[in-house]
Structure 1
Amino acid sequence: MSEEQQYFIVSVKWTERRQPYITLWGHDDSGYRARLETSGRYGYERVISNPSYYNNGYHTLAVPCSALEEMAADVKPGWLDGDGGTWVPNTKANWDVILKSAICSPAREPKPRYRGAPRSHDRAA
C-alpha cells in the first residue's frame, strides 16, 4: 500500500522579499510557519478538491513535501522561532523549483518575492 502524496502549502502572499525563509501554512489551515517540521502536510484529495484556496497562484501554491524537503536547510542559529529544524531559503532558485512543482497550474500567475525579484506583487488583494 502506497501513501497518498502530501503537499506543503507555500504562502506566496506572505513571503516577503526581505525574509530569508519561505512562509508555509500550518496544520489544518491554522496560521503560518516556516519550519518544515511544524508546517502542515495536506493530502492530494484535500488540495485538489479546492485549488482556488490551496493553489491559486496569487496567495498559495501546493507543492509536494518531497520537493521542499530537498531544498530545505538548517535554520540560522538564533533565528526567529529558536534554533533547530529545517526551513526553505527564500531564493530565486528555490522559487523556480516551487513554481515547476505545484500540484497543477494555478488560476493566477504566481509572483513570488525574494531578494532581486521584480516589485510586482501587491499584497493588499
Structure 2
Amino acid sequence: MKHNPPQEIRLQDSRATLALIYDGQIKKLPAEYLRVYSPSAEVRGHAPGQEKLQTGKADVVIINLEPVGQYALKITFSDGHDSGLYDWDYLYKLAHEYDTMWAEYIRKIEASGASRQPSAKF
C-alpha cells in the first residue's frame, strides 16, 4: 500500500524525538527507535536473516533531516549513521506499528544479553 508523506515532520525533545502528523494524529518516534530500525543495509543486511541487532543506541539523537525527492527522508544521527532512506511507506509503518516493533526490539536486546546503553569509552 502506498502512503502519503506525513502532513508535518518536526523534531522535538532536543532532537530525541521525531513527531509525524498523519490525519491530525501525532505519532512520536524516539530517535533510538528510528536508529535501530534504520532501513540501511548496515542494519537490515542484504537479505532476510542478515539483520544486525543495533545496541548501545539509547542516547542517540537526530542531528539532521533531509528530504530526498518526493519519496523519502534521510536522517543523520549523532552516532554518525546516515545511510538508509526512510521512504513514506516505511515511516508510516514505523509510526503505526511502534508498540509492536519496539516490544520486539526490547525482546531481542534482552534475549541477546546486550544493552541499549552505549558502552563506556575510556
Task: Give yes or no for TM over 0.5.
Answer: no
Q: TM-score, normalised by structure 2?
A: 0.30
